[in-house]
Amino acid sequence: MSQFVDLKLRGNDRRTAWCQENSVGTDLYRDGMARLDAGDVAEARRLLEEALRKSPGDVAVMHGLSRVLDLAGERARSVELLEHAHARAPSEPGPAHDLAMALLEREEDARAVQVLTPVLEAHPDDTRAHLFMAMALAKSDAARARVHTAKALTDSDPDVKLQAQALDDVLAEHQRVS
């Protein structure tokens, strides 16, 4: 019986250590994002790289670090990290939004559609994903793109609405002359 209690206690010690380590990773992430919001890219990078070492599969940490790397001018590494985050959590909106935009900038519209599809399946009311999907479809399928701009127009963010309206106007004109 005492061996069982001893094993149980050692298991609790391991769980406690794991929780403390993950808490450190979470604290580093939170502090890193706060530094990023404050404009301290170098310190944000240091903290988020440490958070990623502590929690190597954490999608939020990968996404945060990708934002820092992008601001630091390391676009290729940023996109690589977004690809990893998206592979781990394909329906997670944040990394998918940023990855889709990076792909659209490289004119990889079909790949952007692939990235956004699982997000919209899991989050059908994600208006930003609808806006980005409309952008990805704009050249190949104006009618489908307009379905997505209509959904993006319901966003409360005036910037999203403005972009969606501008895209919808262009798509409507394209359909009218076609």
Residue 97 sits in the same domain as residue 66: no
**Is the pLDDT higher at 3 or at 145?**
145
pLDDT in tens, 35-77: 999 999 999 999 999 999 999 999 999 999 999 999 999 999 9
Report angle CA 154, 118, 110 to the nearest 5 degrees: 90
Residue 31 sits in the same domain as residue 105: no
Per-residue pLDDT, averaged over 74-98, amounts to 98
Tell me which residue of 133, 138, 126 sits closest to 167, measured CA to CA.
Answer: 138
pLDDT in tens, 152-171: 999 999 999 999 999 999 99
**Would you place residue 26 in the very low, low, confident or very high pLDDT band (cuts 50, 70, 90)?**
confident
Q: How many domains does the chain have?
A: 2
Residue 32 sits in the same domain as residue 95: no
Residue 129 sits in the same domain as residue 161: yes
Residue 164 sits in the same domain as residue 94: yes
Other beta carbons less than 10 A from residue 43's beta carbon: 16
| CB-based contacts of 160-166 (< 8 A; 24+ apart in sequence) | 160/127, 160/128, 160/131, 163/131, 164/127, 164/130, 164/131, 164/134
Question: Average pLDDT of the chain?
Answer: 89
For residue 164, give its domain range.
90-178
Residue 30 sits in the same domain as residue 85: yes
Tell me which residue of 115, 92, 47 sits closest to 55, measured CA to CA.
Answer: 47
Residue 110 sits in the same domain as residue 84: no
Say which CATH number the domain at 136 has. 1.25.40
